[in-house]
């Protein structure tokens, strides 16, 4: 039986991938030690999602409470399954700007060293496997903030004559910008994944994600803005907007569309360390003010929020992904959730019980 190893298997993208590949008949080996609870407290715990996977997937899912910073434990696990491993999907990470500044060693250990441990385990035990890395648009640092932006009533928007009018492409430089320590550790991992592809001619790929969203995310203040926003509206929790007049723009992609992109690459992998920007693109993007209005309309509830003039260090004022490179390489891939409203409606509907509000 072909083995798919998924790190961060109880997180949003990890669990979506776990269910997808188990549903296709693969044996999924999940690696997740619930570090999200260490990062974000009880509300960030992914235990509920791990238990859901174990209960629903049965023998097609085997969970391992392994810390990816432990090189020996990672290597031992890969050795156990060896050449039966056909795919590695690496989603485990410390994902917060603010948290990284509190503990840079842990942040770098998880994001950079953990990725290196996985790549080395692949090199030793399953070099023919496909390695998919969930990178981030934060590898570009705050360089997107140098783009010529126009202030509109509810959002910032790029000058329509600029080369990135259809979104930011992979051609944007990662140099000479402030990344935040989180962005720096993810960039280190991103470059490692590319290098293993180029130096060893392995089938590795970095997907530089925008906002990855969906109903199975544990929304917390420091990570996962759409889920956390919906959670605050549904539970009556106060919310804070940080900077840019609340007009900062994010492109949002549903987790199932992320997995379908992963699978397209897996079915027809390219060697040499590929890089793709992956987000909602021009089809699905939203400002904070617009997201609040949409969520309030869907739920029929008002959000209690305050505004802080201080934007988060390294945060983007406007970011929309240009999907052209991936769509050229994989023209069969299509976004099923091609509007932000569809994504928010799904988050609301599927979390009524968990967030204890009848909407």
Q: Look at phi and psi of residue 25 and say left if phi exceeds 0, alpha if psi is from -120 to 50, else beta.
A: left
Segment 236-274, tens digit of pLDDT = 999 999 999 999 999 999 999 999 999 999 999 999 999
Residue 353: per-residue pLDDT: 75
In what order do the strands lie in the sheet containing 61-64?
61-64, 27-31, 3-7, 85-90, 130-136, 203-209, 274-278
Q: Look at phi and psi of residue 144 and say left if phi exceeds 0, alpha if psi is from -120 to 50, else beta.
A: alpha
At residue 224 the predicted structure's pLDDT band, cuts being 50, 70 and 90, is low
The CATH superfamily assigned to 3-350 is NAD(P)-binding Rossmann-like Domain (3.40.50.720)
The residues, ordered by sequence, that sit 6+ positions from 166 with a Cβ below 8 Å of its Cβ are: 282, 322, 324
* Position 278 pLDDT exceeds 70: yes
Residue 48: per-residue pLDDT: 85
* Position 222 pLDDT exceeds 90: no
User: Which range scores top for mean pLDDT: 98-102, 314-318, 322-326?
Assistant: 322-326
Instruction: Work out the percent of the chain whose per-residue pLDDT is above 70.
Output: 96
What's the distance, Cα to Cα, between the start and end of the chain in Å?
44
Residue 358: per-residue pLDDT: 46
Task: For the chain, give the mean pLDDT.
Answer: 93
* Position 154 pLDDT exceeds 60: yes
Q: How far is CA 279 from the centre of its chain?
A: 9
Residue 312: per-residue pLDDT: 80
At residue 359 the predicted structure's pLDDT band, cuts being 50, 70 and 90, is very low
In this prediction the pTM is 0.93
Dist CA 342 CA 332 (whole Å): 21
Q: Look at phi and psi of residue 82 and say left if phi exceeds 0, alpha if psi is from -120 to 50, else beta.
A: left
Residue 1: per-residue pLDDT: 65
Longest C-alpha distance within the chain, in Å?
Answer: 57
């Amino acid at each position: 039986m072909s083995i798919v190893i998924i790190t961060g298997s109880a997180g949003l993208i990890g669990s979506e991938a776990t269910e997808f590949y188990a549903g296709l008949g693969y044996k999924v080996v999940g690696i997740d030690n619930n570090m999200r609870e260490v990062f974000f407290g009880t509300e960030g715990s992914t235990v509920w999602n791990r238990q859901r996977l174990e209960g629903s997937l049965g023998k097609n899912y085997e969970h391992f409470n392994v810390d990816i910073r432990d090189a020996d434990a990672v290597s031992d696990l890969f050795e156990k399954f060896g050449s039966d491993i056909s795919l590695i999907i690496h989603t485990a990470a410390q994902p917060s700007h603010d948290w990284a500044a509190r503990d840079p060693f842990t942040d770098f250990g998880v994001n950079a060293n953990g990725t290196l441990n996985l790549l080395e385990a692949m090199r030793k035990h399953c070099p023919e496997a496909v390695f998919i890395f969930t990178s981030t648009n934060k590898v570009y640092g705050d360089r997107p903030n140098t783009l010529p932006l126009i202030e509109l009533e509810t959002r910032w928007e790029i000058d329509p004559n600029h080369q990135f009018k259809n979104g930011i492409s992979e051609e944007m430089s990662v140099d000479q910008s402030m990344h935040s320590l989180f962005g720096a550790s993810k960039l280190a991992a991103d470059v490692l994944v590319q290098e293993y592809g180029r130096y060893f001619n392995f089938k590795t790929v970095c997907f530089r994600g925008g906002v990855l969203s969906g109903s199975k995310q544990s929304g917390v203040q420091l990570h996962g803005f759409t889920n956390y926003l919906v959670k605050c509206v549904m539970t009556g929790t106060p919310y804070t907007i940080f900077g840019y007049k609340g007009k900062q723009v994010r492109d949002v992609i549903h987790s199932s569309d992320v997995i379908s992109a992963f699978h397209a690459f897996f079915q027809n992998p390219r060697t040499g360390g590929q890089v793709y920007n992956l987000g909602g693109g021009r089809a699905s993007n939203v400002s904070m003010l617009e997201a609040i209005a949409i969520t309030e309309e869907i739920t029929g509830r008002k959000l209690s929020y305050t505004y802080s003039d201080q934007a988060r260090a390294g945060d983007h004022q406007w970011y929309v992904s240009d999907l052209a490179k991936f769509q050229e390489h994989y023209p069969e891939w299509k976004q099923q959730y091609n509007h932000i409203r569809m994504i928010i409606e799904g988050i609301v509907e599927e979390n009524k019980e968990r967030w204890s509000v009848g909407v």
